[in-house]
Amino acid sequence: MNQSAYILRENTGTSGIVETARAAVSVLAEHDIPHLIVGGLAVQEHGYPRVTIDVDIVVPDVLEAVEFLTASLTGPFYRITGIHDRVEDRRNGVKVDLLPAGQVLRKGCKIPFPESKTAAETLQFVSLEELIALKLDSWVNSPNRRHKDKTDVIELIQHRKLPRDLAVNPAVRALYLETWDALQAEK
């Protein structure tokens, strides 16, 4: 292992993200719980390589998913005291945020997390169009705290050379068009 990789692993907790995601999905699949990966891992999967330090998983029932993930005392996951929708991987410190399918991130948001009907051992990612809609919705409702969400959309548009007519949810379509047009104007 080179020195910079060691520093990254030791200082930021960014190692093991995929390992943690696979372990969580495996437990969910054992209990027939459908899932979708959103957040930074989904951004990476859809073509913009960026650092993320946690795993965001949409499930039908957050509390049930937490119960199954933390049921084994010798398993990789444990509950974080005082937080009902997050678990931590004891092997590497990576946190898993569980998000409620069919519900919005917070009051004011308009885009509910999509629902998956499939419980699978493989990582299932939210579609690109849904990811962009979720990111824009999150950003517009908390622009200072969620500024990375807008950056993710900008980078995905640029890296993937996304079309202006991408089928983004109508609730955030104007934001997508505004962002796309602004990027074109800066060329």
Q: Delimit the domains of the chain by residue range.
A: 3-185
Rounded to an integer, the average pLDDT of 128-153 is 96
pLDDT > 90: percent of the chain: 87
Q: What is the pLDDT of residue 15?
A: 66
CATH 3.30.460 fits 3-185, yes or no: yes
pTM of the model: 0.89
Q: Structure tokens of 31?
A: 């209990």
* Per-residue pLDDT tens digits for 102-138: 999 889 999 999 999 999 999 999 999 999 999 999 9
Residue type at position 103: Q
Please give the backbone phi and psi of residue 121, each rounded to the nearest 5 degrees, phi first.
Answer: -75, -20
Q: Is the pLDDT of residue 14 over 60?
A: no
Buried-state track 116-155, b at ≥16 Cβ within 10 A, e below 16: beebeeebbbbebebbbbbbbbbbbbeeeebebbbebbbb
Contact 153, 166 (CB under 8 A): no
